[in-house]
Amino acid sequence: MDNRTHDSDRRRLLRAMGATGLLAGFNALLPAYARNNMAEGAARHLDTAAAQVPGGAARDVVMDVHVRRETIDIAGGRASAITLNHTTPGPIVELWEGQNAHLRVHNHLDESTSIHWHGILLPFQMDGVPGVVFPGIDPGATFEVDFPVRQAGTYWYHSHSGLQEQIGQTGPIVIHSQGDDGINADREYVIVLNDWTFEDPHRLVAKLKAVSDYYNFSERTLGDLAEDFRQSGVATTLKDRLAWGDMRMSPRDIADVTGHTYSYLMNGVHPDANWTGLFTPGERIRLRVINASAMTYFNVRVPGLPMTVVAADGKEVQPVETDEFQIGVAETFDVVVQPKADRAYTIMAETMARSGYARGTLAPRAGMVAPVPALREQPQRTMMDMGMDMSQMDMGGMHMSHGERTKQMGHGQMAMDHGSMQKMDRSEKSSGMAGMHHQGHDMGAAKKGHKMSGMGHDMKKMAHGTGPNAGTMGTGAMMEQTGPVIAKHGPDMHGAGNINVANVQRDRLAEPGTGLEDVNHRVLTYSQLRNVVPMQDRREPSKTIEVHLTGNMDRYMWSFDGVKYSQSTPIEFPYGERIRLVLVNDTMMEHPIHLHGMFMELENGQGDHLPFKHTLSVLPGSRASLLITADEPGRWAFHCHLLYHMEMGMFRVVRVSDRSGDDNA
């Protein structure tokens, strides 16, 4: 495939290295003399031992993090990267809830740097965002943070200065809970996912600014047109092409940056070097999966092993068993697997755009491998993602699609949809939003599902026949599983920096994520996440803030409400109050929206057990609602965690204070 040309060269090199015993992934297992003979000596990634969470007695932690720019072996090549204590990703920062953390960041770069402790509750001055909470760490300087650890779970740390995060400055954080977390893992590994490029990230931005589809080598071609004519008929296909052409957008726009330039790393290791975690059959293994990449969503699975999700964004959730989950940039999921057989299992992390993958292995002994699944076919955007009102369109294939949805989701979840929907409806009333339509009830899947129940196999096949690859207007899987419409867009089109608006906004929390609608196994959805502790703050929100995720792919501009950071003023959260934050995604792609300093409770229909999130991946054309108690005074960054979107201005400061607006110029 075209878009893996670069990477395949490196793969050949890696295979050659493997033959000479220099395979990076195994160098920890080499005898000392062999390691010493390697270029530069030490392993530069989280090898088996370094990725295993040591644990031990609860204690205060004092740790030094040295930030250096150095040339290292990475992804089958050599490059100048930013390392943390000589590795990328950096070492595990292991802390204990209820104890103190004293972390000292030493800047050995010749430029300013910073470390943001992602998801960690601490005084905002230590949060590590230059220009917002502190001036940054000057070359040669040391910055110390010292705070009581008030939480447990899996988090991570990374630079918040410029594009440093892209070239290696990321690492995992593991915090052990004060009491028994009930998870009882015999062994724990961090699984840190990164996207690595040998390009200068500034050049990468320049390319996106010049030609925004530079890295997309999966656009629709003449061949696809012929195929769609054949599969869906000329009329349907033309209608579809005209609709996309009218919007000047591409349904193949899944990721801005792809495997054309990226190698995908697991714990810093290229797939061909095969990072390996060892286990004894029968053990319960906790995998702390961290998406520390700059721009890449992953679909994570361990073929042959069910995964029990026990935490999301560090915070415990009631265990839910699944076979695959999509992880947005900056999210973390903790899963428990229990391999009983004496065999190897592949940890597969395929990118959402399917242009590459990170991969590792769980094995009883080093050197074992399991089959690596082929990349699945690349998904396609639909009119749903565009926030189009499908009820006004006349299209074949639509009706049986709803039947399909019913079949796949079952009644339990359907009811859940309605629950969360009603909750949202209520919230909208309380916030006095005008122009709301309870279309969800009319379009409710359950209703149509009923009508369709009893429709046989043929219909299902037809639905598949006109599926996503047929390129029809959402007659494929996306439509089948798209959630109910819960709101409509107002008249504000958000200016020249925004192309599209979600005319109808759906509740899509019960969806598995782009490209996972049709897989024949279980996939985690946000609606399944249920907190282990009941909601503490049950006040009705005193303030509702609606933020639209906006952008212009053609000009590579990204913003909130069509306004870049440099034109914005802080979002005010009155101290102590309960806030409802509503996110509406007007763009056609997912955005992982991260709030620093405070957890957000996702209104996902789980009653008074709403899960905590620090980063929410908001599906295109969707509307999501979050509750926040503004109990952490500070100036907190709030942004899209796709690095280049953030740097283009999809960023705000949220200010929690009792003197809001005092200094508003």
Partner 1 sequence: MPRHAIITTAGTLVLCLGIPLAAHAAADGKADLDSVISAGPVDPNSGAPMAWDKAIHDEQIHRFLLIDRLEYGDVDGANNYLWDAQGWIGGDYHKLWLKTEGEGPLSGGSPEDTEFQALYNRTIAPFWSAQVGIRYDVNPNPDRGFAVLGLQGLAPYWFESDTALFISEDGDVSFRGEFEYELLLTQRLILQPRAEINASAQDVPKYGLASGLNSTEMGMRLRYEIKREFAPYVGVRWEQTYGETRDIARADGEETSSTAFVVGIRAWY
Contact positions with partner 1 (CB under 8 A) in 640-659? 646-649, 651, 653, 655-659
Per rule CB under 8 A, is residue 122 in the interface with partner 1? yes
Per-position x/- string for 507-536, each x denoting binding to partner 1 as judged by CB under 8 A, each - no binding: --------------------------x-xx
- Shortest spacing between CB 458 and partner 1, in angstroms: 35
Identity of the residue numbered 390:
M
Nearer to partner 1, 228 or 601 (CB): 601
- Shortest spacing between CB 517 and partner 1, in angstroms: 25
Burial class (CB in 10 A: 0-12, 13-18, 19+), 19: exposed
Contact positions with partner 1 (CB under 8 A) in 480-499? 496-499
- CB 359, CB 449: distance < 8 Å: no
Of 52, 217, 303, 366, which lies in the binding site for partner 1, with binding defined by CB under 8 A? Answer: 217
- Shortest spacing between CB 499 and partner 1, in angstroms: 5
Of 59, 78, 248, 343, which lies in the binding site for partner 1, with binding defined by CB under 8 A? Answer: 248
| Residue range at the interface with partner 1 (CB under 8 A); choices 26-34, 282-290, 317-325, 625-633 | 625-633
Contact positions with partner 1 (CB under 8 A) in 162-181? 162, 178
Burial call 34-61: b when 16+ CB within 10 Å, e when fewer:
eeeeeeeeebbbbbbebbbbeeeeeeeb
Per rule CB under 8 A, is residue 148 in the interface with partner 1? yes
Contact positions with partner 1 (CB under 8 A) in 376-415? none
* DSSP character at residue 373: P
* DSSP character at residue 269: B
Per rule CB under 8 A, is residue 207 in the interface with partner 1? yes
Size of the site for partner 1 (CB under 8 A): 96
Contact positions with partner 1 (CB under 8 A) in 17-46? none
Per rule CB under 8 A, is residue 279 in the interface with partner 1? no
Sign of the CA dihedral with 424 first, then 430, 433, and 436 last:
positive
Q: How far is CA 478 from the centre of its chain?
A: 19
* Distance (Å, whole) CA 665 – CA 663: 6
Per-position x/- string for 546-585, each x denoting binding to partner 1 as judged by CB under 8 A, each - no binding: ------x-xx-x------xxxxxxx----xx---------
- Shortest spacing between CB 423 and partner 1, in angstroms: 17
Of 387, 485, 629, 638, which lies in the binding site for partner 1, with binding defined by CB under 8 A? Answer: 629
| Residue range at the interface with partner 1 (CB under 8 A); choices 142-150, 187-195, 226-234, 272-280 | 142-150
Q: What residues pair up with 72 in beta bridges, in sequence order?
A: 79
State the angle between helix axes of 398-430 and 445-452 in degrees (0 to 180), rounded to the nearest 10: 160
Per rule CB under 8 A, is residue 662 in the interface with partner 1? yes
| Residue range at the interface with partner 1 (CB under 8 A); choices 16-24, 30-38, 456-464, 595-603 | 595-603
Q: What residues pair up with 10 in beta bridges, in sequence order?
A: none
For 550-570, the DSSP string reads EEETTTTEEEETTB-GGG--P
Angle at 411 between CA 315 and CA 531, to 5 degrees: 10
Of 70, 146, 227, 283, which lies in the binding site for partner 1, with binding defined by CB under 8 A? Answer: 146
- CB 598, CB 627: distance < 8 Å: no
Supply 522's token pair.
């279980």
| Residue range at the interface with partner 1 (CB under 8 A); choices 226-234, 427-435, 540-548, 635-643 | 635-643
3 state SS of 661: coil
Q: What residues pair up with 195 in beta bridges, in sequence order?
A: 264
Contact positions with partner 1 (CB under 8 A) in 297-336? none
Phi-psi region of 462 (alpha: psi -120 to 50; beta: other; left: phi over 0): alpha
Nearest partner of 309 among 583, 13, 526, 568, judged by Cα: 526
Nearer to partner 1, 102 or 411 (CB): 102
